[in-house]
């Protein structure tokens, strides 16, 4: 056979298979990425020791006082300022003669300051950053391998989306069609509605996601123009400020709050995200201020540097149209610019995407079951797909919620506490996969949905009792982020329990001979 049928037919085949092969990975990417839209809020929620942050002018003054006390003759100071979403000021310093630490290496020379400028002992946690990293770096695998793998899956996702649109004869009619309680039909309608409803989002998020990692796995344009090596390309794209050399003349830094104010004027409004002061005890010191990524859709650091008297030395060159386009793509993907209402829209679109992948996975098995020689006793391959669906679609939410519980329940002095939290995530996930393999599919779905529901509902209740009134006191204090996570968990828990109940009560359609199927399946109960 050399003909695969018409274009719709062939696209349908492409859609089905490219979708299944990477569906589980895509589910992980979607659910972790969706959660990561609340990364800062989650981190704040996961470090309940800290209250609301100070304003950036106050915070920078407090940080300066702290550093001047703690490390007056360090080689470098770094200050990360709080914003409306995150909770605390973090400062770190590099003592004279010490080498720069690599990313992710534990740094003993650091402190977290609360709104009064006092160092607070916060629990060690990866916070929302865990979901963010899991979204494109996975875990326990070398980062480069993970990114290649994620990129290949995203490319297939893009192909599945495009072929999904081509397959779809009646894309707009189908959007308004939801045939309840018709088994496979309902799953297909649900999958279609979820996909079409947020199709612009899906296309955008997949394409921009590919853009974020593009020079890694599509390096051919770079190689074509920079035969000497990729470093030359990055050096041209991101010119590095030359290092300041110490003069040997002692000095103290100017008031950093005033430097911040000047930086904000220079940007024409906007917020500073971080400061770095090289040689803070030397008259040749250099203060560089980086801009908040969320200030613009095409976020950029727009670094400015100031001298020991607080005068502007140097500003980053304006970006070219191509760079702004690239930054805009990344900005749309990460939504750092999004204020709360729009962030909710991003989040809900992400939820729709997660459900689209989930319904697609379920549809794959529902459809194939009807084509099996004996649907009551499917072959091994089918059973594995069916069980893995459970292990991913409900196992991952259980694991994510278990991670949050780990954050609350693990003893504060346990060694490598943030790694221990991550272990809770993976143990819980592994347990769910094993559970799904051992139980009958229906029981597997119901039990894991119910477990996820109970875990989600339990967290805000636990906070209410164990963390000074939880959402209630957070709301009273005006801490929308902490309260929002609690309320979100309540809603999520309720929906999960509702879904568990639906699946539990679901009466499957009686299997009829094919010719008579149309009328008979109307008798089926509602699908979950």
Residues that bind other proteins (CB under 8 A): 1-18, 152, 155-156, 158-159, 162-164, 166-169, 184, 188, 207, 210-211, 214-215, 218, 220-227, 233, 236-237, 320-323, 325-326, 329, 367, 514-515, 517-518
Q: Give the residues across from 312 on adjacent strands.
A: 306
CB of 345 to other proteins, least distance (A): 25
CA distances from 434 to 384, 386, 391, 453 (A): 11, 13, 8, 19
Nearer to other proteins, 167 or 394 (CB): 167
Nearer to other proteins, 379 or 468 (CB): 379
> How wide is the angle at C-alpha 349 spanned by C-alphas 344 and 353, nearest 5°?
145
CB of 526 to other proteins, least distance (A): 20
CB of 25 to other proteins, least distance (A): 15
Nearer to other proteins, 76 or 326 (CB): 326
CB of 167 to other proteins, least distance (A): 5
Nearer to other proteins, 176 or 498 (CB): 176
Question: Which tokens in the block code for residue 519?
Answer: 């009328």
CA distances from 383 to 11, 370, 377, 392 (A): 26, 14, 9, 14
Looking at 345-435, which runs of residues are DSSP E strands?
A: none
Nearer to other proteins, 21 or 255 (CB): 21
Nearer to other proteins, 218 or 494 (CB): 218
Length of the chain: 528
CB of 503 to other proteins, least distance (A): 22
CB of 156 to other proteins, least distance (A): 7
| Other residues' Cβ atoms within 10 Å of the Cβ of residue 426 | 14
Helices 39-46 and 7-36: angle between axes, nearest 10 degrees: 40
DSSP code per residue over 251-273 = --PPPHHHHHHHHHHHHTS--EE
CB of 5 to other proteins, least distance (A): 4
Q: Give the residues across from 277 on adjacent strands.
A: 77, 287
- The CA distance from 195 to 158, in Å, is 13
Nearest Cα residue to 25 out of 216, 213, 154: 154
Nearer to other proteins, 329 or 402 (CB): 329
- The CA distance from 60 to 473, in Å, is 27
Q: Give the residues across from 78 on adjacent strands.
A: 92, 276
CB of 232 to other proteins, least distance (A): 9
Assess contact for 480 and 503: CB atoms under 8 A: no
Nearer to other proteins, 65 or 225 (CB): 225
């Amino acid at each position: 056979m050399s003909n695969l049928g018409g274009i719709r037919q062939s696209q349908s085949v492409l859609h089905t298979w490219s979708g299944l092969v990477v569906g589980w990975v895509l589910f992980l990417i979607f659910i972790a990425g969706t959660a990561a839209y609340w990364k800062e809020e989650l981190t704040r929620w996961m470090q309940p020791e800290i209250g609301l942050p100070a304003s950036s002018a106050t915070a920078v003054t407090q940080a300066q006082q702290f550093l001047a006390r703690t490390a007056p003759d360090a080689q470098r100071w770094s200050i990360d300022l709080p914003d409306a979403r995150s909770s605390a000021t973090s400062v770190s310093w590099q003592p004279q003669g010490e080498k720069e630490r690599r990313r992710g290496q534990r740094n003993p020379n650091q402190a977290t300051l609360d709104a009064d400028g006092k160092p607070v002992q916060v629990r060690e946690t990866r916070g929302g950053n865990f979901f963010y990293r899991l979204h494109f770096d996975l875990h326990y695998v070398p980062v480069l391998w993970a990114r290649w793998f994620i990129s290949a899956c995203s490319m297939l996702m893009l192909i599945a989306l495009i072929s999904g649109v081509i397959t779809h004869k009646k894309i707009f009619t189908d959007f308004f069609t939801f045939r309840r309680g018709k088994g496979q039909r309902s799953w297909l309608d649900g999958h279609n509605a979820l996909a079409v409803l947020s199709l612009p989002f899906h296309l955008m998020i997949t394409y921009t996601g590919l853009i974020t990692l593009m020079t890694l796995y599509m390096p051919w344009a770079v190689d074509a123009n920079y035969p000497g090596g990729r470093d030359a390309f990055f050096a041209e794209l991101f010119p590095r400020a030359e290092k300041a050399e110490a003069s040997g003349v002692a000095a103290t830094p100017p008031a950093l709050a005033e430097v911040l104010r000047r930086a904000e004027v220079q940007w024409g409004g906007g917020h500073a995200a971080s400061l770095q002061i090289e040689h803070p005890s030397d008259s040749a010191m250099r203060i560089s201020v980086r801009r908040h990524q969320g200030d613009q859709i095409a976020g950029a650091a727009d670094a400015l540097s100031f001298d020991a008297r607080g005068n502007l030395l140097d500003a980053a060159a304006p970006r070219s149209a191509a760079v702004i386009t690239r930054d805009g793509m990344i900005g749309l993907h990460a939504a750092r610019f999004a204020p709360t209402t729009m962030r909710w829209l991003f989040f809900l679109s992400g939820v729709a995407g997660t459900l689209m992948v989930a319904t697609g996975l379920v549809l794959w098995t529902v459809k194939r079951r009807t084509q099996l020689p004996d649907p009551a006793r499917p072959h091994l391959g089918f059973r594995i797909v069916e069980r893995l669906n459970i292990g991913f679609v409900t196992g991952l939410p259980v694991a994510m919620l278990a991670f949050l519980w780990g954050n609350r329940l693990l003893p504060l002095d346990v060694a490598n506490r943030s790694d221990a939290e991550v272990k809770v995530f993976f143990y819980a996930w592994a347990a769910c996969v094993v559970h799904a393999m051992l139980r009958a599919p229906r029981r597997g779905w119901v039990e894991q949905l119910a477990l996820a529901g109970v875990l989600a509902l339990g967290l805000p209740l636990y906070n209410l009792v164990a963390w000074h009134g939880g959402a209630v006191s957070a709301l009273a204090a005006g801490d929308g982020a902490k309260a929002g996570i609690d309320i979100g968990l309540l809603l999520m828990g309720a929906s999960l329990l509702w879904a568990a109940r639906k699946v539990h009560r679901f009466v499957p359609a009686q299997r009829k001979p094919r010719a008579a199927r149309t009328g008979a399946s109307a008798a089926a109960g509602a699908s979950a």
